[in-house]
Structures are given as C-alpha cells and as structure tokens.
Structure 1
C-alpha cells in the first residue's frame, strides 16, 4: 500500500508566542511554525510580546516562508529633559514595511523615516504590516536624543503561512 499523500496546503493565520519560540493557529493541536529571535541587546519575551531594551537590532526568523505579517510597536517615548538626559526612541523595520495605523506616532519605520513619538511627553504606537513573502525581518531600536535607555514593546505579531498536514 502506498503512503498517504499530503493534503493540499491551505493558508492559515498564525500568532507568535515569543516565549515558546513558535507560532500557532487558533486550532488546538493544530500546526505550528518555529520562530527564532536573535538580538544584539536585551529582549524579554513574555508570551505574545517582546520588550526590547537598549539600542539594538533584533532579527526574527520564521521556520518557513510567511506573508501578511502584522505587529504593533508600542511604548515609543519622546522626552526632551534638557537634551542630554532626553530620549527620542526610534524604530526601523526591514524589509521596508507599511504602517497601517498610528496613535501618537509618526514615521514609516524605515531608515529615512523611523517610527517615533509625535510629541514631547507623548507615548506612541504603530501597527506595522509587511506583505511578504519573507523568511525573516529585522527591527532596530535606537534613541536619537540624549543618553536615556530606549525601551519599546513588540506585540501581537501574526502572519499567514501555508499549513499543510498529512492526509488521513
């Protein structure tokens, strides 16, 4: 008897669990995809979010090709504080993303136009989108002012991937 063929792959939305290093669908016991996080700085993973602290570059690698990636960058801060002790957090993403919505933030998350809080004393956030297909993305956090330590949260990362399973 021949081995059962694989069922046709079907696209599914996966949600990233940074602690587990995996992305899963909403189906209990359903397929999962490995998600790796490499960083040049401090990253604290807590389920569906990752806190980035300090100037750094984070590379997120997916176990297979994905598309329609979305995530939120939250906690963008801008504090003048007499200049040298100030903070102007900036976030860039590569490959170049789209920004679907912003709250208290400006920028396109690119090197030429980084995401940042739109006003002094205001905390900003942005929903970032990437059409793909891609196998990895890079997020860079820095401060364009002062010596305070930048810190933002990446949360709600999800994507679409082919979720093929073996036929019964």
Structure 2
C-alpha cells in the first residue's frame, strides 16, 4: 500500500523540479528589424538544456547558429552580442577541448524560410549562462560553422539576433 503514496510523492518532486527549471525566450529579428520568430531554451532535470527554434522568414541554405555571451542586439551588425557563450571550453565539436556551451549544429533552412527544430545543449545552464548579469543572445550567421576554427567557426556575418528574457 505504500507504493502509490511513494509514486505520488515522486511525481510531485519531479513536477516541482520541472516547474522551477530556468527558461529563457528570445524574439529574433533580422538586420532590418523584421520579426523572425522565437527561440526558447530550458534547463531540464537531466542537466542538459533543450533549445526550441520556431523561426520564419530566414534565408534558405545552411547557417551557423550560436548562443552569444551578451544580451545585446543593438549594433547593426549584432556584434554587441559579444562572442559565444564559452565557459572553459574551446569552440567546435571537432575540437578535443570543445564545444562551447553555446555551440550548436548548423541549421538547414528550406526554401520556405521556416524552421521548427529542437536540440540539446549538454554544457549549458540557462540559469547561470543566459540569465546572468549581462544576459545572452541567439545569433544566426550567413555562413556555416566549420566546428573547429577559433573563436567562432569561421561562420561569417551575423544576420539575425534575439536577446534572451527569463520566462516564469
């Protein structure tokens, strides 16, 4: 008879952990100020963050996407977002000391320009890295990431940016 009570208690603990997981959302815009959609990142009980992209109006092709260390997209070239969220790691999955917590695989955008995709960020903490004192930003580049060049994968110009805001 103790099993149902134990399972109920476990369910409450799991639900409480999920409810308190840090979540941040970015409204992404291009260089002309056009709204491209949202990117959401959430901490999980496993310790691996989940990122969800729901974007439209993107240029077709392959593009590097990263999480950048400063929550500022005011500069026309988006360089005010700073470098990648790096932690104590090097850039790129092909680097034995990588990847950065903010590194992600290249994104393939179809001719429609719309993308809905999920991914995992094993070295990222939303609460510590996106919701710190200077925030963080999502950035899309016009080129692809080679997954090894320092410090940013030779990904080209920044073409879209969104500042992360904490979500309750």
Both proteins in one fold, TM over 0.5: no
TM-score of the two chains, using structure 2 as the length reference: 0.35
TM-score of the two chains, using structure 1 as the length reference: 0.35
Structure whose CA Rg is larger:
1
Q: Which is richer in helix?
A: 2
Greater RCO structure (CA 8 Å; 6+ sep): 1
